[in-house]
Structure 1
Amino acid sequence: MTESRLDQPRELRRQLPIRYDPEAFGKWSEKFARFLGTARFLVYMTAFVIVWVAWNTLGPMRFDPYPFIFLTLMLSLQASYAAPLILLAQNRQDDRDRVQGEQDRHAAEQNRAELEYLTREIASLRIALGEVATRDFIKAEAEWLVDQLDGKRGTLP
């Protein structure tokens, strides 16, 4: 028995006779959803409604008299198609955001690992430098040895 995932839609069992490219359709829906959110669309839609109302109120051939039932039907039809297209575009954006988030988390983990490695390396270098004889230390030791030898020479017969 196959396991069903709740975050993915189920596969269709029946094939529709219409073939389409889901990626191309998804790109088109994103463009359409982006256009619906612009001032240009609002201006076009407002102009369309004003012309429609003016024509059917003042025009010689009134095909949709007041209360403009056909206009309401057309706007409802437009909204019924726009809503799923906007949802499809949002789902695609969510998928891209999820992938980007995973890549960001992976990069952050790598950066943290590299930072920890470099921190350990710096700490080991500091410890190693603490054990290295410096020039001043060697000079002081050499002077002490010279003083010791000079003192022994004076005490030797």
Structure 2
Amino acid sequence: MARNTRQTSLDAPRGRSGMLQRTPQPSSDRFGRFSEAFARAMGTSGFLIGMTIFVAVWLTWNIFMPPQLQFDPAATNFTLLTLILSLQASYAAPLILLAQNRQDDRDRVQIEQDRQRAERNLADTEYLAREVVALRMAVNDFADQVLTRDVLRSELRALLEKLENSPEVEDGAAR
């Protein structure tokens, strides 16, 4: 009987990788990785220093250069610079939010795995505590009985007599 490889058998344990598998979506994943890299880069001191240098050079050029070389003059209140910074901000905000959402999803999965691990640890600890209590009770039962040589000899004699009088021993000797 041919069996579909996608079918899972109920008698086989499901592997760790089978629990969190999703269908691959490379395009959205690639964009998600891009958004995380973008958000990570924007949160660095290098980015802030670079942006500060860019704006300083832009302003210096458009203030101190001759008017025919200025491409965003101060007379127009640096409209082009304002538009560029607004465009950057309009793209940065959604990309940062996307990166935060992806991190939240990873955190949620990690929290669930931690919770499951904690439940297993608690169950193991409770089991071990019950076993320790059972061992203590067994030790306490033996502590009440003092085993002397005379008591041991009498117990062994009783067992020997019981074995000698059992019908199985007589049947085995008759054969």
Match of 2:42 in 1: 36
Q: In the aligned structure 2, how far is the partner of 1:25 from the partner of 1:132? A: 70
Q: In the aligned structure 1, how far is the partner of 2:38 from the partner of 2:81? A: 21
Match of 2:124 in 1: 114
Match of 1:15 in 2: none
Q: How does 1:77-96 map to 2 (within 5 A)?
A: 77-96=87-106
Match of 1:26 in 2: 32
SS at match of 1:130: helix
Deviation at 1:137, TM superposition (A): 1.7
Long gaps (5+) in structure 2: 1-25, 155-175
Residue 105, structure 1, aligned to residue 115, structure 2 = yes
Long gaps (5+) in structure 1: 1-19, 146-157
- TM-score normalised according to structure 2 size: 0.66
Give the RMSD, CA atoms, in angstroms: 2.0
Q: In the aligned structure 1, how far is the partner of 2:150 from the partner of 2:99? A: 77
- TM-score normalised according to structure 1 size: 0.73
The alpha-carbon distance between structure 1 residues 141 and 68, as it changes in their structure 2 partners (threshold 3 A), is farther
Amino acid at match of 2:36: E
Match of 1:150 in 2: none
Identity percentage over the alignment? 57
Task: Write out the 4+ residue segments of structure 1 that deviate beyond 4 Å after TM superposition.
Answer: none
Matching residue within 45, 68, 71 for 1:63: 71
Structure number with greater CO (CA < 8 Å, separation at least 6) is 1
Count of matched residue pairs: 123
Amino acid at match of 1:52: W
Deviation at 1:130, TM superposition (A): 1.2
Amino acid at match of 1:113: A
SS at match of 2:71: coil
Q: In the aligned structure 1, how far is the partner of 2:129 from the partner of 2:30? A: 48
